């Protein structure tokens, strides 16, 4: 399985967990089984991303919140966009993924899974993350 597909599955799991608000090992294992993800490297990568996002979630959310326009609030961000932002910020700041790769990949996922405003919104937030952190 290629890295883009693994990243897509990691996003899908983050989105599912964003809705459920339950990052239990049981839910992660169910996701992997339900999506027939048997590749050991893919399973390891997805688990690493999800546990990393969970471990740094407060810092990531603070980072997102500080990049929003004053009239915006975190609760206005869709679950899809939130999962995409968390994935990309985690990869850029904590997983040593080059920011251009992390942003480009997540923008493609936003075009596929989000609404018409997802890609520009995410790109704007992530551009500010890069300016302040990298």
3-133: CATH superfamily: NusB-like (1.10.940.10)
Sequence-distant (≥ 6) Cβ neighbours of residue 11 within 8 angstroms: 83, 84, 87, 106, 109, 113
| Domain spans, the chain | 3-133
CA angle, 99 as apex, 125 and 96 as ends, to 5°?
125
Distance CA 122, CA 126 (A): 6
Q: Give pLDDT tens digits along the chain (134 positions).
A: 999 999 999 999 999 999 998 888 899 999 999 999 999 999 999 999 999 999 999 999 999 999 988 888 899 999 999 999 999 999 999 999 999 999 999 999 999 999 999 999 999 999 999 999 87
What pLDDT shows up at residue 89? 98
Q: Are 59 and 94 in contact (CB under 8 A)?
A: no
What pLDDT shows up at residue 24? 87
């Amino acid at each position: 399985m290629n890295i883009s597909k693994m990243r897509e599955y990691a996003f899908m799991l983050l989105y599912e967990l964003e809705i459920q608000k339950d990052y239990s090992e049981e839910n992660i294992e169910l996701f992997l089984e339900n999506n027939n993800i048997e590749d050991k490297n893919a399973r390891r990568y997805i688990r690493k991303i999800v546990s990393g996002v969970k471990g740094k979630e407060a810092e990531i959310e603070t980072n997102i919140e500080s990049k929003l326009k004053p009239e915006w609030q975190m609760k206005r961000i869709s679950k899809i966009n939130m999962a995409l932002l968390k994935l990309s910020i985690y990869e850029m700041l904590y997983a040593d993924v080059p920011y251009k790769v992390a942003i480009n990949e997540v923008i493609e996922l936003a075009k596929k899974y989000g609404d018409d405003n997802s890609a520009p919104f995410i790109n704007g937030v992530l551009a500010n993350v890069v300016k302040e952190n990298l």
